[in-house]
């Protein structure tokens, strides 16, 4: 039998997995700082539940199968499971309900570079009954900002927009009936030439003068304050436009109250997030120097999470980080700080197999002091033991030899600086913990 | 569309999920203290890879399906994926290879109380090439001991045995040819009456006098030292028996060197872990007061992990905690410390909606100081806000009213003691961090 892993399924070496786990921990910790509670829904659901909301493309990609008489499917995102969860448990939840979920989702896409069939999504959503305060849209910005700061990745910018602005603008041009199609098209503007964009608008039956006005609108550039000033200058009075303008002003102002560096957020009127699902604020996040990564964190505001499952209205705002793809891109560009293949901080080696008991006892004491430690138990030459220590890139080495045993001391070597100290147990623990 | 979750799939409320995540974090942290590196293999594998090792029962339970031309299966444990992983990547791994994996596995069992179709396993294994030092069998004991201590669960005991002892004993009785059947039968001794046990031995064609000796042997009671003394008294000279005896003595002695309280480990010669897979030390873990939970952590030593996939020999020792089942049993017996449904430590409320900006700004500053905080943004009466704070069981409340705004201070209420203090920002942060 040949050992094989399926194509499109990421499997990491320990030194890579350690970095991945650190990223997950940073993301989870940040989400909790903002009051999001963890959630963990099943990977398998009834097919009819998962497919209740999806369209054609998703349906083709889904891993669906029958077990006994039941049609099952593997989740393809964490949003439909959340909608199901809120529909099922809303009477037991406290609203506003803030949850995060970091979990694997499954899409049977044709495998290609940078596409995965199993990948992590790291989602947050804030859900309320009937109405959700717009300040949460700023909080979500602050979460993205904090996560990417803490991950210590390349310089990034969060681009935001409010779909009501564009809807209101189309209304003012008297072409509101084409809003859904136009917003989907605007979503592609960065990927196609302007002429192609205008041609596609013309194909929708829209007149040239209005299309040019639309193109000008979505191309408005400037600082956030400048863009807001320009948006005000239009003096468009319809409700959609005025709501969108008012909302984006609050979001920017409160994001700054929350401590975001204004350099990291940028209004971009061409961002729409194609999906009809979003109704207000939308977000995308790009690395300044790596635009080819695409958006590494996207999301937005929606009016009703669980409409498929229930009548009650649950508006929300949320984002998702596609962690597997992000990790893969960072790795391919040497942007990950990959170190050794073990989480230990200290490796204990002996100069003589007779001292093994001392080494084993010390490992117990270090671990009881919350220091990750290991003993080199292979019976091999001292030189081999040193080679092993170098290979696993351990930060500290403790050497137990005759002098150390005679004096009840330990020789601690800092593997980075090369510095060596001979210490008693308490001082050893203090020194490592520094 | 009715929202539904599949039977046998655990789905928790936030206040429960928070406890579950804490348990996972304690387990992962302890595993890392002992030098185990994280691993994360796919949930889906080629069916032929997963089924390469399994027998009849597992095959019936497996979630298997076809996508395109490929036969896929969801993993039913974390051991077969590890065997595949080591076979695939052994040239890139450093040995001894210590890995942990905390992940969901899938078994389509008939749903019944306490049985799950999707459940977490928390596994560790230490793998080496050709030979693995017996001290690792003691290290695994220390891991179990440390995990259950840190989880702050009811009093527990780890029972251990060495299958070589029983094999050697059977050899000394001249019934070594029945070893596999007898070990499987011994595994059931706690679940069936002695007469039934003896009858089943007789059914194997074994003579009564030997069966009685076997029963006496597996019923040997006493402290670890007493049992070892009795085992020595038998003076059985075959290699299996002598190896088993020597190994179990080392394991007990090194476990004590590693700092285990001897009260928490107990040799039990009736433990065999039915599977033929195990070849030496075997472990089971029981709560003293809740034997009905069954073993909450089991495992053992095996000679060759990846024999299905390759010729090279990789002996190992490992254990698994069935976390979902354990959580379910602890919850059913009110043994979990379930608190509020949110990870926040501080809730900020205002006496007047005009102070919302102050509250939002403060939430940003608290989070920047690594304090999980949230603002009550719903525009409601102060009394309602207090009710909300009580409902979510938040440890600290910060109240912003006119005096506080005028003096740039904050009123901090300890929700447990009821104590209130008015503090400036720095003191507020220090007080909460205490």
What is the percent of chain B where pLDDT is above 90? Answer: 89
- Tens digits of per-residue pLDDT, B205-231? 999 999 999 999 999 999 999 999 999
Q: DSSP characters for A227-290?
A: HHHHHHHT---SHHHHHHHHHHHHHHHHHHHTT--GGGEEE-TT---S-TTEEEEEEEEEETT-
Within 8 A of A392 by CB-CB distance, chain B residues are: 94
Burial of A416 (0-12, 13-18, 19+ CB in 10 A): exposed
B200-239 in b/e form (b: 16+ CB < 10 A) is bbeeeebeeeebeebbebbeeeeebeebbeebeeeebebe
What's the pLDDT band for A191 if we cut at 50, 70, 90? confident
Give me the pLDDT at residue B175, please: 94
Would the pLDDT of B57 be above 70? no
Would the pLDDT of B115 be above 90? no
- Tens digits of per-residue pLDDT, B272-293? 987 778 999 999 999 999 999 9
For the ranges A328-332, A359-363, B305-309, the lowest mean pLDDT is seen at B305-309
Would the pLDDT of A293 be above 90? yes
Number of Cβ atoms within 10 Å of the Cβ of B269: 22
Within 8 A of B39 by CB-CB distance, chain A residues are: 12, 14, 17
Average pLDDT over residues B267-276: 88
A3 with B310: Cβ contact below 8 A: yes
Nearest-by-Cβ selection for B118 from A42, A365, A378: A42
A1 with B46: Cβ contact below 8 A: no
Q: Does the CB of B243 have a partner CB in chain A at under 8 Å? A: no
Angle at A15 between CA A366 and CA A410, to 5 degrees: 25
Average pLDDT over residues B234-249: 97
- Write down all domains in chain A, each with its CATH number in brackets: 7-143+297-329 (3.30.930.10), 155-288 (3.30.930.10), 346-433 (3.40.50.800)
And the tokens for B257?
Answer: 């060197």
Nearest-by-Cβ selection for A42 from B5, B374, B392: B5
Q: What backbone torsions phi and psi does residue B301 show, to the nearest 5 degrees?
A: -95, 140
What's the pLDDT band for A344 if we cut at 50, 70, 90? very high
- Alpha-carbon span B148 to B335, nearest angstrom: 13
Within 8 A of A93 by CB-CB distance, chain B residues are: 13-14, 341
For the ranges A51-60, A281-290, B108-117, B369-378, the lowest mean pLDDT is seen at A51-60
Give me the pLDDT at residue A405, please: 94
B135: closest CA among A344, A376, A385?
A376
CA B303 from centroid of its chain's CA atoms:
23
Would the pLDDT of B235 be above 70? yes
Region of B328 (left: φ > 0; alpha: ψ -120 to 50; beta: rest) is: alpha
- A77 preceded by a cis bond (ω within 30 of 0): no
Number of Cβ atoms within 10 Å of the Cβ of A68: 7
Q: How far from each other are the two terminal CA atoms of chain A, in whole angstroms?
A: 50
Region of A162 (left: φ > 0; alpha: ψ -120 to 50; beta: rest) is: beta
Higher-scoring residue by pLDDT: B275, A432: A432
Would the pLDDT of B188 be above 90? no
What's the pLDDT band for B134 if we cut at 50, 70, 90? very high
B258 with A13: Cβ contact below 8 A: no
- Sign of the alpha-carbon torsion through B10, B15, B18, B24: negative
Average pLDDT over residues A257-269: 97
Q: Does the CB of A391 have a partner CB in chain B at under 8 Å? A: yes
User: What rounded mean pLDDT belongs to chain A?
Assistant: 95
- Tens digits of per-residue pLDDT, A56-115? 667 778 999 999 899 999 999 999 999 999 999 999 999 999 999 999 999 998 877 778
Average pLDDT over residues B397-404: 96
Would the pLDDT of A124 be above 90? yes
A65 with B66: Cβ contact below 8 A: yes
- Tens digits of per-residue pLDDT, A391-416? 999 999 999 999 999 999 999 999 99
- Tens digits of per-residue pLDDT, B327-340? 999 999 999 999 99
Give me the pLDDT at residue B55, please: 59
Nearest-by-Cβ selection for A17 from B12, B37, B98: B37
Dihedral Cα A418, A419, A424, A426, nearest 10 deg: -90
pTM of the model: 0.96
- Tens digits of per-residue pLDDT, A221-252? 999 999 999 999 999 999 999 999 999 999 99
Our CA-based measurement puts residue A131 at a distance from the nearest CA of chain B, in whole angstroms, of 9
Q: B72, B65 in Cβ contact below 8 A?
A: yes
Within 8 A of B98 by CB-CB distance, chain A residues are: 342, 374
Nearest-by-Cβ selection for B391 from A37, A84, A94: A94
- Tens digits of per-residue pLDDT, A133-154? 999 999 999 999 999 999 999 9
Give me the pLDDT at residue B54, please: 58
Would the pLDDT of A214 be above 90? yes
Q: Which of residues 204-233 of B touch A (CB under 8 A)?
A: none
- Tens digits of per-residue pLDDT, B339-390? 999 999 999 999 988 999 999 999 999 999 999 999 999 888 999 999 999 9
Q: Does the CB of B34 have a partner CB in chain A at under 8 Å? A: yes
What's the pLDDT band for B109 if we cut at 50, 70, 90? confident
Q: Which of residues 84-103 of A touch B (CB under 8 A)?
A: 84-85, 87-89, 92-94, 96-99
Give me the pLDDT at residue B111, please: 73
B46 with A6: Cβ contact below 8 A: yes
């Amino acid at each position: 039998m040949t050992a094989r892993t399926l194509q499109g399924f990421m499997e990491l070496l320990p030194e890579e997995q350690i970095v991945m786990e650190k990223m997950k921990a940073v993301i989870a910790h940040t989400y909790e700082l903002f009051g999001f509670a963890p959630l963990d829904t099943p990977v398998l659901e009834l097919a009819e539940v998962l497919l209740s909301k999806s369209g054609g493309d998703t349906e083709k990609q889904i891993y669906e199968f029958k077990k006994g008489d039941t049609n099952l499917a593997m989740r393809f995102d964490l949003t439909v499971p959340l909608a199901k969860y809120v529909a099922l448990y809303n009477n037991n939840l406290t609203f506003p309900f803030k949850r995060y979920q970091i979990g694997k989702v499954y899409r049977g896409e044709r495998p290609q570079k940078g596409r995965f069939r199993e990948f992590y999504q790291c989602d947050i959503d804030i859900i309320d009954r009937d109405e959700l305060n717009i300040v949460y849209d700023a909080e979500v910005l602050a979460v993205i900002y904090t996560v990417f700061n803490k991950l210590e990745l390349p310089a990034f910018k969060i681009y935001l927009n409010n779909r009501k602005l564009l809807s209101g603008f189309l209304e003012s041009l008297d072409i509101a009936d084409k809003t859904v199609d136009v917003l989907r098209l605007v979503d592609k503007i960065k990927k196609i030439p302007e002429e192609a964009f205008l041609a596609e608008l013309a194909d929708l039956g829209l007149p040239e003068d209005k299309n040019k006005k639309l193109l000008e609108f979505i191309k408005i550039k400037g600082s956030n304050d400048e863009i807001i000033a320009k948006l005000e200058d239009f003096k468009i009075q319809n409700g959609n436009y005025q709501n969108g303008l008012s909302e984006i002003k609050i979001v920017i102002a409160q994001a700054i109250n929350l401590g975001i560096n204004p350099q990291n957020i940028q209004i971009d009127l061409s961002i729409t997030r194609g999906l009809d699902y979003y109704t207000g604020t939308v977000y995308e996040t790009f690395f300044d120097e790596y635009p080819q990564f695409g958006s590494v964190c996207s999301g937005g505001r929606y009016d009703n999470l669980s409409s498929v499952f229930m009548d009650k209205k649950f508006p929300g705002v949320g984002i998702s980080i596609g962690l597997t793809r992000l990790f893969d891109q960072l790795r391919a560009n040497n942007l990950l700080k990959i170190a050794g293949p073990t989480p230990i901080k200290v490796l204990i080696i002996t100069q003589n197999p007779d001292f093994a008991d001392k080494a084993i006892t010390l490992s117990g004491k270090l671990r009881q002091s919350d220091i990750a430690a290991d003993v080199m138990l292979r019976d091999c030459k001292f030189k081999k033991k040193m080679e092993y220590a170098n290979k696993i890139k351990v930060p500290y080495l403790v050497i137990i030899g005759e002098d150390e045993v005679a004096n009840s001391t330990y020789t601690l070597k800092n593997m980075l600086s090369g510095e060596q100290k001979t210490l008693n147990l308490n001082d050893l623990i203090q020194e490592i913990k520094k």
